[in-house]
Structure 1
Amino acid sequence: MDFLSDWRTDLGGKRNFHNGAGGTYDCIAIMSYYAVCKAVTSFHEIEKMEENLILPAFRKLRFVDINKPFWRKLMYRAFSTAQKHCDTWHDYEMDVAPYENSRPIYYEFTACPAAEFAKQFGFADIMPALCNVDFAAMELLHARLVRTTTCANGCKCDYTICGDQDPYAKEHPEYRDENGYRRNK
């Protein structure tokens, strides 16, 4: 709790929507757990914890297929709405590119409270375990995330989202970098 005593009191609860109930606190709770249990906890276990928190909501949406224009447009609208909330609360700084038919959706974060917290308190080594869940979430929607950097290892977290059948995904193969981040070429 000492971590949160004077840090970003605007996160979570009714004042903030990001990542649902609890908002960014799920990442901060995992980092706090890691601070205490680092000697007996693996990177893989941290990644599984984050997946168990985030993916249940996406599993309920398996009927969504981003390969279909209706769902792609609806997803774009969801991101545009999220940007408006970010602009109101100034927690995440988010920019969504204009929608273009038959093109991947693009948006980026240039500020992320979880990444800020990790950098401030020395948890950057487990950020890949927390960021990688974005790939798994998109896969549940018949989508592919193409990402080259995150706020934790760069100056922005870029999201290019296309259908899992889109040639764009094949043009940007995924790999894991030396720190454990899932990334694309």
Structure 2
Amino acid sequence: MLERFPYIGGDAASGTKNLIGAYMFVSMGEVLKKYGVTTAQSSHLMILIYERQFTKIPSFLRSIMGKIFTNPRFLTKMFLKKDRKNALNAAQNPGSFETQTQIPPEKGYDFSYHNLVCPLADFAKKYGYEEYMPYLCNLDYVMFGILGAPLYREHTCFDDGDYCDFKLKLSAKPMDYDPPVFTQGNGYK
């Protein structure tokens, strides 16, 4: 898998850690299949790993991170900067993550952005790892949920081909992510 792994700009590029973490999950899943473990079971293990990773962050830092993710004005400023940085990186490394902050946010939400290019989805489609993508997308709910940010997503690059939407509704409670959101039948992916 490593020899086919996309280069999206190295450690300084937005999403590199997400990309590596996601394909650690795929690698783990491929090995565990040989022992009769299903993709859904591997996904549950990955949820536990993410929970432990994020809960190891000291509570005061998690609280600060959560406050950032529940401050639309600050998020907009931060993500506009991220949009520019991602565009510059994508110009040098085609196929890298590209984002677009939605101004104003999508109707009914306090903040929203679109992920326009997803190297995870592209890699999965190119090399036959499609079964993992819904579970990989669910990990966003894990991360946002632990930070107390109520994420909602109705589109993914993998399923819909055009973009992943990340929408925050600050008056809501974060969605349960286990079982994975896409299995809950509520229209969110």
Q: Same fold (TM over 0.5)?
A: yes
User: Which residue of the partner structure matches residue 43 of structure 2?
Assistant: 46
Percent identical pairs in the alignment equals 19
Aligned partner letter, 1:73: R
1:114-153 map, 5 Å: 114-153=120-159
State the TM-score, normalizing by the size of structure 1. Answer: 0.72
User: Which residue of the partner structure matches residue 74 of structure 2?
Assistant: 74
Kindly tell me: are residues 67 and 77 of structure 1, through their superposed partners in 2, closer, same or farther at Cα, counting changes over 3 Å?
A: closer
Kindly tell me: are residues 161 and 46 of structure 1, through their superposed partners in 2, closer, same or farther at Cα, counting changes over 3 Å?
A: same
Cα distance between partner residues in 2 of 1:113 and 1:58: 31
Secondary structure of the residue aligned to 1:148 is coil
Kindly tell me: are residues 157 and 51 of structure 1, through their superposed partners in 2, closer, same or farther at Cα, counting changes over 3 Å?
A: farther
Secondary structure of the residue aligned to 1:94 is strand
Q: Which runs of 5+ in 2 are unaligned?
A: 91-95
Kindly tell me: are residues 131 and 51 of structure 1, through their superposed partners in 2, closer, same or farther at Cα, counting changes over 3 Å?
A: farther
Q: Which runs of 5+ in 1 are unaligned?
A: none
User: Which residue of the partner structure matches residue 15 of structure 2?
Assistant: 18
Matched, 1:184 2:188: yes
The structure with the largest helix share of the pair is 2
Cα distance between partner residues in 2 of 1:65 and 1:166: 14
Kindly tell me: are residues 9 and 138 of structure 1, through their superposed partners in 2, closer, same or farther at Cα, counting changes over 3 Å?
A: closer
Kindly tell me: are residues 48 and 11 of structure 1, through their superposed partners in 2, closer, same or farther at Cα, counting changes over 3 Å?
A: farther
Secondary structure of the residue aligned to 1:9 is coil
- Higher mean Cα deviation, 123-132 or 137-146? 137-146
Per-residue CA deviation, residues 84-117 of structure 1 (Å, 9 max, x unaligned), is 22111111121111256x9521111121011111
User: Which residue of the partner structure matches residue 36 of structure 1?
Assistant: 31
Aligned pairs, number: 170
RMSD of Structure 2 on Structure 1 (CA): 3.4
The structure with the largest strand share of the pair is 1
- Of 159, 166, 186 in structure 2, the residue corresponding to residue 159 of structure 1 is 166
